[in-house]
Chain A
């Protein structure tokens, strides 16, 4: 059984993440219309939104503490929100501002918040080895913290993932690999790139438990993750979790998804884990007025973050030369004229 408070907490994370992506979608298009120019507007560059992935974030991160490490891939916002990353500073980073999490150097695929041990990387599957390393550090220091590596289903054919499974299993490291299966690696459907239908079975080859959550449901993810995170925290080694999610917004902003059958996109819109979780809350006696209040609170939080971020200054050009090295050593050619 999963209690009402837990479900409500996950629901809060999920509606926050969903509204965040919806608002970023709007902010991203500012200055990019009518002609779409990726380098124009309030948020330039690529933007990978995670609407439809929220259950995988909320259901796993509900078991995590600040000292637990999470690595996320190029589609990170929902996980960051569920892990408790500072939302205003994350938003400022996405807007390229001086007070962003990374002083404007990283952007939306490269968010680092050491206060809650969150990081993400834009290179497919490359968050897996650092998560293994965080788990290794915990094990060596006899701490009971765990690490969670998020990756997409397209990333499971990458060496960094498979090598990480082996290393983690070999040393019984406290790490959980969470595969968010949205059926699409940009334009490539799963069946085009692998004959392995069930990603969770890949764990068998590494003598590690593999669990598939085959429906996009936060409570089901929560229950699977309770076992996986608990196992890691108790010193019993890694687990591979394979979670079905849905991609509601294209691979990145500007992706018209011409390669994707309409019914697949319609299915993603229809199978909404947030609606499913709202039904669960109703069964626990939460009425629509309370659900509305949760959503409004979440929306207010997002609006505040965006408003704060917009007011932040851009970094000064010369800031580009800082942070190459910890000790302030200048870049070899940095800033010289």
Chain B
């Protein structure tokens, strides 16, 4: 026992898994299928990943393929870029998305741009996994999602699973993709023993391999009055808000699942039906996901768009103290209020 027990989920044909178990399921399957897949990160061996992202993999694959690395993100993320260009399929983990600052060049100037800058002569088939999100009072250097940052910088595909089912399918797709994919998992959804997950992320997960194509949003709940577009943890908060308003407002909830490529069609179709859009994001509000979603809808369905609300982190670093973080991280109540304001 290296840490408080994680919920392993239930076995059998209709097994339910936590998000971390589903993610590991896909990584293990791809590692069995190809010796080119290997995993590098801090504390991914004996600890199994601080957020359980590699738990159990060391026992099956050994230290050559599940690699603890020095606290040298520039070196090992960059090494993943080089190994990928040499034809392997590395997975590199940045423990917290906030830590990307120490290796940003390898991420946005090398990993993301080498395909384009080589005129397609090389490609970088790697996965960059990273933990995101707040809600547990870890302050501004350990609580960001940075969805918008990664999605803004061209050349990386960006996925954000919100359920175990999606976590597995998106991981299979990410590893098999010939481009670099940033796989952002929310700590609060992983099913970690010491950070209780909300209802929702633990789902049935098939034993067999399957992929979820990058760029396909998921209609989580159909409704006719208001469209809520969101991702990650806030999919579950939006569903909670929708349930609370059921009978009063008929809320449609769309889980983006992938930011790059972006499923414009699903979002626009929904707004053409409802006429009202609420975009919910745990990232900073300005110059980010909420603005991008709103702009895409405005460009394509301005005539249908009667009202818009954005619910996101106001542009402040995530504060530590409980009442302060609660104030800035949108809760289900904030989503309810936004929906009611435009219903």
* Cβ of A286 under 8 Å from chain B: no
Of B71, B319, B321, most buried by chain A (CB within 10 Å of CB) is B321
* Cβ of A188 under 8 Å from chain B: yes
Given A123-B102, A186-B47, decide whether A158 and B71 contact each other with a Cβ distance below 8 A. Answer: yes
Report the Cα distance A319→B328, complex, angstroms: 10
* Cβ of A97 under 8 Å from chain B: yes
Report the Cα distance A121→B42, complex, angstroms: 19
Which chain A residue shows the least CB distance to B2? Answer: A258
Interchain CB contact under 8 A, A256 and B321: no
Contacts of B102 in A (CB 8 A): 123-124, 126, 158-160
Q: How far is the CB of B236 from chain A (nearest CB, A)?
A: 16
Q: Mark A232-274, 1 if CB is under 8 A from B, else 0.
A: 0000000000000000000000111111000000000000000
Report the Cα distance A121→B139, complex, angstroms: 11
Interchain CB contact under 8 A, B324 and A319: yes
Which chain A residue shows the least CB distance to B67? Answer: A192
Which chain B residue shows the least CB distance to A94? Answer: B320
Interchain CB contact under 8 A, B322 and A96: yes
Report the Cα distance A100→B139, complex, angstroms: 14
Which chain A residue shows the least CB distance to B69? Answer: A193
Which secondary structure characterizes the binding site on chain A?
A: loop
Q: How far is the CB of A262 from chain B (nearest CB, A)?
A: 13
Interchain CB contact under 8 A, B42 and A186: yes
Residues in A298-337 with C-beta less than 8 Å from chain B: 314-321, 324, 331-336
Interchain CB contact under 8 A, A44 and B137: yes
A157 touches which of B46, B70, B324, B328 (Cβ 8 Å)? B70
Contacts of A227 in B (CB 8 A): none
Q: How far is the CB of A326 from chain B (nearest CB, A)?
A: 14
Residues in A168-212 with C-beta less than 8 Å from chain B: 185-188, 192-194
Interchain CB contact under 8 A, B72 and A157: yes
Report the Cα distance A329→B101, complex, angstroms: 25
Residues in B150-181 with C-beta less than 8 Å from chain A: none
Given A36-B194, A39-B136, decide whether A317 and B71 contact each other with a Cβ distance below 8 A. Answer: no
Report the Cα distance A37→B4, complex, angstroms: 10
Of B50, B74, B320, most buried by chain A (CB within 10 Å of CB) is B320
Q: How far is the CB of A211 from chain B (nearest CB, A)?
A: 23
Q: Mark B39-52, 1 if CB is under 8 A from A, else 0.
A: 00011011100100
Contacts of B1 in A (CB 8 A): 256, 258
Contacts of A44 in B (CB 8 A): 136-137, 322
Interchain CB contact under 8 A, A110 and B50: no
Interchain CB contact under 8 A, A110 and B320: yes
Interchain CB contact under 8 A, B141 and A121: yes
Interchain CB contact under 8 A, A39 and B135: yes
A188 touches which of B4, B68, B317 (Cβ 8 Å)? B68
* Cβ of A122 under 8 Å from chain B: yes
Interchain CB contact under 8 A, B138 and A193: no
* Cβ of A104 under 8 Å from chain B: yes
Contacts of A123 in B (CB 8 A): 98-99, 101-102, 141
Residues in B183-198 with C-beta less than 8 Å from chain A: 193-196
Which chain B residue shows the least CB distance to A158? Answer: B71
Residues in A122-151 with C-beta less than 8 Å from chain B: 122-126
Kindly specify which of B79-87, B238-246, B308-316 makes contact with the partner chain.
Answer: B308-316
How many residues of chain A are within 8 Å of chain B by beta carbon? 58
Given A46-B138, A256-B1, A317-B327, decide whether A188 and B319 contact each other with a Cβ distance below 8 A. Answer: no
* Cβ of A155 under 8 Å from chain B: yes
Contacts of A230 in B (CB 8 A): none
Contacts of B137 in A (CB 8 A): 39, 44-45, 96, 107
* Cβ of B323 under 8 Å from chain A: yes
Interchain CB contact under 8 A, B324 and A106: no
Report the Cα distance A155→B99, complex, angstroms: 13
Q: Mark A84-99, 1 if CB is under 8 A from B, else 0.
A: 0000000000001100
Contacts of A59 in B (CB 8 A): none
A187 touches which of B47, B310, B322 (Cβ 8 Å)? B47
* Cβ of A291 under 8 Å from chain B: no
Residues in B21-60 with C-beta less than 8 Å from chain A: 42-43, 45-47, 50
Interchain CB contact under 8 A, A188 and B43: yes
Starting from the known contacts A158-B72, A193-B69, A255-B3, 14 additional A-B residue pairs (CB-CB under 8 Å) come to: A37-B194, A39-B135, A46-B142, A105-B140, A105-B319, A107-B320, A154-B70, A159-B74, A185-B42, A315-B321, A320-B314, A320-B328, A333-B285, A336-B314
Interface positions of B (Cβ within 8 A of A): 1-4, 42-43, 45-47, 50, 68-72, 74-75, 98-99, 101-102, 135-142, 193-196, 285-286, 310, 312, 314-317, 319-328
In the complex, 20 of the A-B residue pairs with CB atoms within 8 angstroms, ordered by the A residue number, are A36-B4, A39-B136, A44-B322, A105-B139, A105-B320, A107-B138, A109-B142, A110-B140, A122-B141, A154-B70, A157-B71, A185-B42, A193-B68, A193-B70, A256-B1, A258-B3, A259-B46, A317-B324, A331-B314, A334-B315
9 nearest CB pairs, A to B: A104-B321, A258-B2, A107-B320, A96-B321, A44-B137, A259-B46, A157-B70, A317-B327, A39-B136
Interface positions of A (Cβ within 8 A of B): 35-39, 44-46, 96-97, 100, 102, 104-107, 109-110, 121-126, 154-155, 157-160, 185-188, 192-194, 254-259, 314-321, 324, 331-336
